């Protein structure tokens, strides 16, 4: 009976010991979870900080709440000038603390010694017992950039080793974020310096370049340059596609002047500038007496003999004239209007258009056989809105060119002006940009920087969020098409040509997107 009672008491006692041990382990685990949660919340808030002060304030607020500190202080060291950036509780004489820290011997001291110096300085100033306080410095690249002080706990107990470890880990995270901020700041400063140097170098380089050079360093323009170099070696016909104002004639000239025909003539014609009744006589020439008062005149094909003929906007050429151009290209001969003699011509043809000639063929407005004759090689020039990085280069080039023309010297563009130029849509492409720069040079005073007020109002207004675009009197369907086309172009650019992703973003099916692209004449080569 006694043995059984003793055994029962022993079990009860052992159970109490065991339960106490379990309670302690559970408490430790809960405490560890709490510390991990604290560190997680600290790290998350630090990643949202955008300047050192926010980092110091976040560490101080989180740790003071975790420790239950009556008072806390965060100090920032910038170029040996100490500043109190956060003060919780009733810490007095903070200005004296900051002033005394300036004269403290931190140079060459270890982290532990630095913390001792800080602790002694703050506790002596505020008559605090250092046993019940906690300090930790923060170092970035072996340089002390600040420190944190925590006063007595509300419950009165001293700080534990676990408290020190928790603060050390939090401060270490803050140091990494601070270093990243420093690195980012240095990179931004370096980027700005390089941008200025780049702009200066570009201005110098552009002054030495002839005006016929194709300006642009974007990937799209690098492809254009590559095509020019390759196509110039050949004598095959070239078709240049691109919107109005993109520089199609410059590309044609570059092909000619890099080709074996460079010593021959380069004859440029724009079909939209020639009345339909005069197209034949302008292209093929006319004999004396072919019409009342007409004297003999050679046409563009004869003028371009042994060189290159550039036919701009060939998509606007009348169908009747297209047949004669095709015959000239096939037979290499022309017959003047009113003449009987076949005249041999040796020309290379480079044509250009802003239209989709395949769609024009379907509509019966362009000859398919002529298309295949002139489209042996093809170059696509992207619109200016699709090569934003080239805008600053082009603007700088035109500024230098127009300065020389009017005898004026400006200091260059302000960075915010270049940003405005990059945000504008440039419906007139490079030609519109050139005209805008010429206007700026004409209106600006000698020695000025190009400022925002020098820009045309519609360029500034069109790039300001929340501003209503100027309304144009146009067919509503055309306006909707224009907006849809711009949105699809932008989505294609951002999605790297992934049409499934573009369809998802625009809320369309892939088939629906393709139908819109077909209707709006957005070709695969524009992706």
pLDDT digits over 41-86, tens only? 766 767 777 788 888 888 888 888 888 888 888 888 877 777 888 8
Q: What is the pLDDT of residues 302-356, one digit of tens each?
A: 999 999 999 999 999 999 899 999 999 999 999 999 888 899 999 999 999 999 9
Do 261 and 372 fall into the same domain?
yes
Q: How far apart are CA 259 and CA 266, in angstroms?
A: 11
In a domain, 97, yes or no: yes
Comparison of pLDDT for 7 and 142, the residue scoring more: 142
Q: Where are the alpha helices (DSSP H) in 68-110?
A: 94-103
Q: What is the mean pLDDT of residues 515-522?
A: 84
The pLDDT-based confidence of 196 (bands split at 50, 70, 90) is: low
Q: Which domain holds residue 438?
A: 389-462
Q: Which of 34-38, 328-332, 480-484, 519-523 is predicted most confidently?
A: 328-332
Task: Report the greatest alpha carbon distance in the chain.
Answer: 148
Which strand (E) or helix (H) includes residue 377? strand 377-380
Which positions ≥6 away from 35 have C-beta within 8 Å?
162, 166
The residue among 164 and 30 whose pLDDT is bigger is 164
* Percentage above 70 pLDDT, the chain: 77
d(CA 377, CA 175): 59
What single string gives the DSSP state of each residue in 6-59?
A: HHHHHHHHHHHHHHHHHHHHHHHHHHHHHHHHHHHHHHHHHHT--SHHHHHHHH
Say what the pLDDT of residue 377 is.
Answer: 96
| Cross-strand partners of 84 | 75
Supply the CATH number for residue 423's domain.
Answer: 1.10.8.60
**252 and 336 housed in the same domain:** yes
Instruction: Please state the rounded mean pLDDT for residues 150-176.
Output: 83
480 in the same domain as 452: no
The pLDDT-based confidence of 210 (bands split at 50, 70, 90) is very low
Domain end: 409, 440, 462, which one? 462
244 and 365 inside one domain: yes
What pTM was estimated for this model as a whole? 0.49
Extended strands (E) in 423-498: 449-450
CATH number at residue 109: 3.30.450.40
Query: 266: part of which helix (H) or strand (E)?
Result: strand 266-270
- Regarding whether 84 and 231 lie in a shared domain, the answer is no
Residue 353, φ and ψ in degrees, nearest 5: -160, 150
Residue 174 lies in a domain: yes
Task: Determine which of 17-26, 170-179, 260-269 has the lowest per-residue pLDDT on average.
Answer: 17-26
Q: Please report, for the domain that includes residue 263, its CATH number.
A: 3.40.50.300
CA distance 93 to 72: 13
**Would the pLDDT of 226 be above 60?**
yes
Residue 193 placed within a domain: no
Do residue 152 and residue 104 come from a single domain?
yes
Same domain, 245 and 378: yes
Number of domains in the chain: 4
State the chain's mean pLDDT as an integer: 80
How many angstroms separate the first and last alpha carbons of the chain? 95
Q: Which of 382, 397, 415 is the last residue of a domain?
A: 382
Tell me which range, 19-23, 446-450, 484-488, is most confidently predicted by mean pLDDT: 446-450
As a whole number of angstroms, the distance between CA 16 and CA 115 comes to 44
pLDDT in tens, 463-475: 655 444 444 445 5
Q: CB-based burial of residue 435 (10 Å sphere; 0-12 exposed, 13-18 middle, 19+ buried)?
A: middle
308-312 β-sheet, strand order? 266-270, 308-312, 348-353, 238-241, 377-380
Tokens matching residue 62:
């989180």
Q: Residue 497: inside a domain, yes or no?
A: yes
Domain boundary among 138, 157, 183: 183
Looking at residues 248-265, what average pLDDT do you find?
90
The pLDDT, as a whole number, for residue 434 is 92
Q: How far apart are CA 190 and CA 187, in angstroms?
A: 5
Q: Looking at the structure, do residues 229 and 378 belong to the same domain, yes or no?
A: yes
Residue 394 and residue 367 share a domain = no
Establish if 197 belongs to a structural domain: no
Predicted confidence at residue 211, as pLDDT, reads 40
* For residue 253, pLDDT beyond 70: yes
What single DSSP character describes residue 526?
G
Tell me whether residue 467 is in a domain. no
Indicate whether 310 and 428 sit together in one domain.
no
Q: Which backbone phi and psi does 114 adopt, to 5 degrees?
A: -60, -40
Percent of the chain past pLDDT 90, that is, above it, reads: 28
Quick one: 290 and 358 in the same domain? yes
* Structural domain includes residue 262: yes
Q: Are 46 and 181 in contact (CB under 8 A)?
A: no
Higher pLDDT among residues 436 and 159, named by residue: 436
Q: Quote the pLDDT of residue 69.
A: 84
Dihedral sign, Cα of residue 404, residue 407, residue 413, residue 418: negative
pLDDT tens figures, 109-143: 555 666 666 666 655 555 455 456 777 778 887 77
Q: Is 173 within 8 Å of 138 (Cβ atoms)?
A: no
In a domain, 495, yes or no: yes
Instruction: Give the residue, 457 or 102, on which the prediction is more confident.
Output: 457
Domain match, 323 and 431 both = no
* Residue 228 reports pLDDT greater than 90: yes
Q: How many CB atoms lie within 10 A of CB 215?
A: 19
CA distance 284 to 226: 33
On the question of pLDDT at 481 being above 90, the answer is no
Confidence (pLDDT) at 209 = 40
Instruction: Write the DSSP symbol of residue 323.
Output: H
- Most confidently modeled range among 38-42, 84-88, 227-231: 227-231
């Amino acid at each position: 009976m006694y043995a059984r009672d003793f055994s029962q008491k022993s079990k009860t006692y052992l159970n109490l010991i065991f339960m106490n041990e379990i309670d302690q382990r559970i408490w430790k685990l809960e405490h560890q979870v709490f510390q991990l949660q604290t560190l997680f919340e600290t790290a998350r808030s630090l990643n949202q900080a955008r300047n050192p002060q926010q980092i110091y304030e976040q560490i101080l607020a989180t740790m003071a709440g975790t420790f239950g500190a009556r008072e806390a202080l965060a100090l920032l060291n910038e170029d040996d000038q100490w500043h109190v950036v956060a003060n919780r509780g009733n810490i007095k004489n903070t200005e004296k603390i900051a002033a005394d820290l300036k004269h403290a011997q931190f140079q060459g001291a270890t982290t532990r010694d630095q913390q001792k110096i800080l602790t002694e300085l703050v506790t002596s100033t505020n008559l605090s017992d250092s046993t019940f306080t906690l300090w930790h410095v923060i170092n970035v690249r072996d340089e002390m950039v600040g420190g944190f002080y925590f006063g007595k706990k509300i419950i009165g107990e001293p700080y534990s080793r676990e408290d020190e470890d928790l603060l050390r880990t939090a401060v270490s995270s803050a140091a990494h974020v601070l270093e990243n901020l420093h690195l980012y700041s240095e990179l931004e400063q370096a980027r700005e310096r390089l941008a200025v140097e780049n702009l200066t170098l570009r201005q110098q380089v552009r002054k030495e370049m002839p005006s016929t050079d194709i300006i642009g360093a974007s990937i799209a323009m690098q492809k254009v340059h590559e095509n020019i170099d390759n196509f110039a070696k050949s004598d095959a016909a070239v078709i240049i596609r691109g919107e109005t104002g993109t520089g199609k004639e410059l590309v044609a000239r570059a092909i000619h002047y890099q080709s074996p025909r460079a010593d021959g003539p380069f004859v440029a014609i724009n079909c939209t500038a020639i009345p339909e009744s005069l197209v034949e006589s302008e292209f093929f020439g006319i004999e004396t007496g072919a019409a009342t008062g007409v004297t003999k005149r050679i046409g563009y094909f004869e003028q371009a003999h042994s060189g290159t003929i550039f036919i701009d906007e060939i998509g606007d050429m009348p169908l009747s004239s297209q047949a004669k151009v095709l015959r000239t290209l096939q037979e290499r001969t022309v017959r003047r209007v009113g003449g009987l003699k076949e005249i041999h011509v040796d020309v290379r043809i480079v044509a250009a258009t802003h239209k989709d000639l395949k769609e024009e063929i379907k509509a019966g407005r362009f000859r398919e056989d002529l298309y295949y004759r002139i489209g042996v090689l093809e170059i696509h020039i992207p619109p200016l809105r699709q090569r934003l990085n080239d805008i600053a280069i082009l603007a700088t080039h035109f500024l230098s060119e127009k300065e020389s023309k009017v005898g004026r010297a400006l200091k260059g563009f302000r960075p915010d002006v270049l940003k405005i130029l990059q945000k504008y849509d440039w419906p007139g492409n490079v030609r519109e940009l050139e005209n805008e720069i010429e206007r700026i040079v004409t209106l600006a005073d000698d020695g000025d920087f190009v400022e925002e007020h020098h820009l045309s109002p519609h360029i500034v207004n069109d790039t300001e969020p929340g501003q209503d675009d100027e309304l144009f009197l146009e067919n509503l369907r055309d306006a909707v098409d224009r907006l849809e086309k711009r949105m699809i172009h932008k989505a294609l650019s951002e999605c790297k040509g992934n049409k499934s992703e573009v369809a998802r973003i625009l809320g369309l099916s892939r088939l629906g997107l393709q139908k819109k692209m077909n209707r709006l004449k957005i070709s695969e080569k524009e992706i």
